[in-house]
Structure 1
């Protein structure tokens, strides 16, 4: 992805991104404007997504692009209900910094809360759908599509378009299947709302130091990172 021109169209940013620059500067963007995304840009992003890994090159996926406001409004209601159930009662605790460590930071909470209340305003939604996943029992079934989802997010980054990966619409699989007309064996594995950022910036996501989470040959075997 050295230049977005290679994928078709012009990148939103004047500076072309290297692969590593994109990998280090693609945080979840949850404040999204309603500005439309041009069709040629959307097609280029999707074309990059399908170059992602697929076990055995089976490509048992489908990508449902949603711009229908009625569909978005219905799913957004489920999303807000799930948000309130999972996080609403903990709002004061999280914002005051007294919540247990390891969860949402106050800043992260406010961004996620904003998305929960405004997700229907994002101009484009993409549902990443996997065939054969509806009745799957393997905990690794998502490995057949999540790599491609990340490529979609990185391609969007090249065009200055924000994304986030969420599954907070969950618990409504049958209703969603009917709403989107999905095959009986298919499951929506993720929802990616897309839009030009309304606030915030492209920044490196905060993570624990790589030395803390990398193990050499066996768990808890550590090495120092070279200077």
Structure 2
């Protein structure tokens, strides 16, 4: 399948986080194609006050990976047995999802390419919706990667080290990283539809709690 032949709705329904990634390099033309698709995403007021920092430097990746593992252990590692022994159908990470996320926490530095989406003028922002100016474009990055057979996941588990990261990446003082997207060719898993609650359960009509039955197309 070529990137052009992947149907849009199929891509939207089958772009899960892929956390088992090979260290194989990504060709430059593929990487540029993915990035060029990302910047076609929505930008508030078309300001495009963003930058996309592509990281392949092992020294940078190893340092950030140590922060990532520390945060993983604090947020999830201490609950490992509880999560892995939870009854099937429990809300939150499934056993398989947990093991994939755990693998990424210990192998994220092996992903050949990292992308940090960066916003300018938001270093001191308190607006909880500030990410709306870039997260749509980040999803386009993930979808374009999927079209090229590349796996991605969107994570912020490197958090708590923004000043150190700003210095390492040479970011402007007013800039803030909004996520980390490791990217590579998947070695395990498949392009499957992520499990979600039924759409009828989470959609409300005109006001919260107002439901409407879904009529299937005839």
Q: Give the TM interval when normalised to the shorter protein.
A: over 0.9
Shift of 1:4: 2.5
How many equivalent pairs are there?
Answer: 216
* Residue of structure 2 equivalent to 1:9: none
Work out the CA distance in 2 between the residues paired with 1:110 and 1:168: 16
Work out the CA distance in 2 between the residues paired with 1:141 and 1:132: 10
Contact kept? 1:31, 1:111, Cα under 8 Å: yes
Shift of 1:102: 2.4
1:77-116 equivalence runs, <5 A? 77-97=66-86, 101-116=90-105
- Quick check: 1:139 aligned with 2:138? no
The secondary structure found in structure 2 opposite 1:190 is coil
Work out the CA distance in 2 between the residues paired with 1:75 and 1:132: 23
Output the aligned Cα RMSD: 1.5
Mark the runs of 5 or more structure 1 residues left unpaired by the alignment.
6-15
The secondary structure found in structure 1 opposite 2:51 is strand
- Quick check: 1:183 aligned with 2:183? no
Q: Cα 1:55–1:121, aligned 2, differ >3 Å: closer, same or farther?
A: same
- Quick check: 1:129 aligned with 2:128? no
Shift of 1:134: 0.8
Work out the CA distance in 2 between the residues paired with 1:58 and 1:4: 28
* Residue of structure 1 equivalent to 2:43: 54
Residue of 183, 200, 217 corresponding to 1:194:
183
Mark the runs of 5 or more structure 2 residues left unpaired by the alignment.
none
Q: After TM superposition, which residue ranges in structure 1, 4 or more long, deviate above 3 angstroms?
A: 98-101
